Amino acid sequence: MKYEILKKQFGYDTFRPGQEEIIDAIMQGRDTIAIMPTGAGKSICYQIPALMLEGITLVISPLISLMKDQVRSLNQNGIRAAYLNSTLTPGQYRKALMLAAQGEYRIIYVAPERLESESFLRFVQQARIAMVAVDEAHCVSQWGQNFRPSYLKIREFMQKYSGQWRFCAFTATATKQVEEDMIGLLGMRSPYIVKTGYDRKNLFFSVEYPANSFLRLLELVRQRSGQSGIIYCIRRKDVEELCEKLCAAGIRATRYHAGLSDEERNANQEDFIFDRCPVMVATNAFGMGIDKPDVRYVIHYSMPSSLENYYQEAGRAGRDGQSAECILFYKAADERVLQFLLENQDFGDIGETQRKERIAKDWRRLEAMKGYALTQACLRHTILTYFGEDSPEQCGACSNCMHEYELIEISESVHTILGAIKSVRQKFGATIVLSLLKGSRSARIGQYGLDQSAFYGSLSGLTMRQLQDILRFMIQDGLVETTADTYLVLRITPKGSRFFAHPSSLTMRQYKKGKEPDAQDDEVFEQLRAVRLRLSRKYRVPP
Ligand code: ADP
Ligand code: ZN
């Protein structure tokens, strides 16, 4: 029967990886958790059982926009579905409940807050409920992104009816902590867990270090003219500026962020979905639940704050399975913006220790993101390793795999860097330590008297980028670690101490000469910036 439904109601010939296994587990009555990447096809894993079971399936979903779209497309497929959330007027809400009680719908989407509403609970007691499916189930965990307190009510709600209803949960977030929370906090009984691979073979990954981001973006967009693409920025004002500049350059672009009115957001979203505007410039507010299958490229104009976010956003490309590109721009300046946002997050009413813990966690996420942006290893392998999945060391389809490398001996430089970290008594972070070794004239070096150090300028023959690469290698190799106290500090590990005492050969892969992407020379830029600041103060004009 499931094959028939797949074909007749949804028009697909075969299941994708994981789907059939999930459907079978649900039908056998097991509590089921499905962890699948964005775009893998989670929805039909509960929609097909919903059509096979007698009674109503409740789908708990955090996103109102998602509910509307899901219901609309189910209705288009001839499946009776509805949603209950705060956008309905009291009249519409009563009517929907009444129709639901008469058995009018097979699938009803509800916001988690409904579980506390009297009228909804009365309805549930009378209706014939077959199954509860929790979408975006990671929202129950405080460790993941998008924590939603009302998800914590699901457990109690299910316990009242334990044993009677089928229970399944879906997410794209695969960390161990979130997985444990989903089982515990949702109160699932020895659930059957299905995890499909995270690899999306049709996506091509690349990282660029453009000297002029806007010109490079324009070039990329023009080369892909007529194709749908999403451009992600961190801040709303970046979205507005960029969209305006693109439009001025003759690109049909539209914009999306949480600060726009509902009407504008909806209109812009439709313009994008219906190809009136092929280019969408947006913050990460855009995308959840938007099922546009033919997005051919996703460009991150700025780096997001974690690889979780990156992979989710980039994964909106190529949902139709056709090849698509995920391009990340790396600029050192974005790092400072992200660090600022990270330090100044509003966690609400939590204690100081907890606050520190959360910030330290976010720091580690950001570090991993940065690691991806700057690694010379295979990008796909880097992502999959982060999500705990085994994969070949080379994928052959990412910008790093397409480059040629040479092996360089870095033993001496590593020894010098370790010496410098020791000499500052492990009190400083990467920026200061590398500026010291580079012999930078920045104000902070002077302020700490580091220009008097024996290490001052001792690696000035290397570029800042090479120094960063070597330090990153040292971190990945476990010679040093970064610890988040109030700010990030470099610390030598026992392995690093052993190496320092008895250095041995160490080789690192490096782009072959002439192949290195033209990175901005941060060092020169910083010096120019300092000069500009001095001049602007002198002449009392903005920098
Ligand atoms: P997710 O919720 O996992 O991000 P969706 O459920 O929105 O993904 O599905 C992503 C896309 O894949 C949708 O366009 C959906 O119609 C399509 N899809 C799902 N299952 C199949 C299948 N078996 N064959 C072909 N396309 C599918
Ligand atoms: Zn690769």
Question: HEC states along 175-193?
Answer: CHHHHHHHHHHHCCCCCEE
Over residues 346-361, mean pLDDT: 81
Nearest CA among 465, 488, 490 for reference residue 479:
490
Mutate to test the pocket of ligand 1, among 3, 8, 12 (most ligand atoms within 8 A of CB): 12
8 A C-beta contact, residue 469 and residue 374? yes
Could you tell me if the CB of 38 is within 6 A of ligand 1?
A: yes
Q: Which residue's C-alpha comes closest to atom 15 of ligand 1?
A: 41
Ligand nearest to the CA of 402: 2
| Span 434-487, pLDDT tens digits | 999 999 888 889 899 999 999 999 999 998 888 988 988 888 778 998 776 556
CA distance 490 to 374: 18
8 A C-beta contact, residue 289 and residue 262? no
Ligand nearest to the CA of 397: 2
pLDDT, averaged across the chain: 88
| Span 178-201, pLDDT tens digits | 889 999 999 999 999 998 888 888
Could you tell me if the CB of 63 is within 6 A of ligand 1?
A: no
**pLDDT band, very low/low/confident/very high, at 313 (cuts 50, 70, 90):** very high
| Span 220-257, pLDDT tens digits | 999 998 899 999 999 999 999 999 999 999 999 999 99
Residue 358 CA: distances (Å) to CA of 181, 262, 347, 352: 16, 32, 9, 10
pTM of the prediction?
0.61
Residue 293 Cα to ligand 1 middle (Å): 9
Could you tell me if the CB of 2 is within 6 A of ligand 1?
A: no
Which residues does residue 356 pair with via DSSP β-bridges, in sequence order? none
- Going along the chain from its start, the domains and CATH numbers come out as 2-195 (3.40.50.300), 203-402 (3.40.50.300), 405-511 (1.10.10.10)
Residue 17 Cα to ligand 2 middle (Å): 22
- Kindly state the tokens that stand for 448: 């700490």
Please identify every residue whose CB atom is under 5 Å from ligand 2, which is an ion: 378, 380, 395, 398, 401
Give 431-463 as a DSSP string: HHHHHHHHT---HHHHHTTGGGSTTTTTTTTS-
Ranges 4-8, 89-93, 291-295, 493-497: which has the least confidence: 291-295
pLDDT at 268: 95
CA distance 239 to 299: 13
Could you tell me if the CB of 175 is within 6 A of ligand 1?
A: no
pLDDT at 525: 62
Over residues 159-176, mean pLDDT: 84
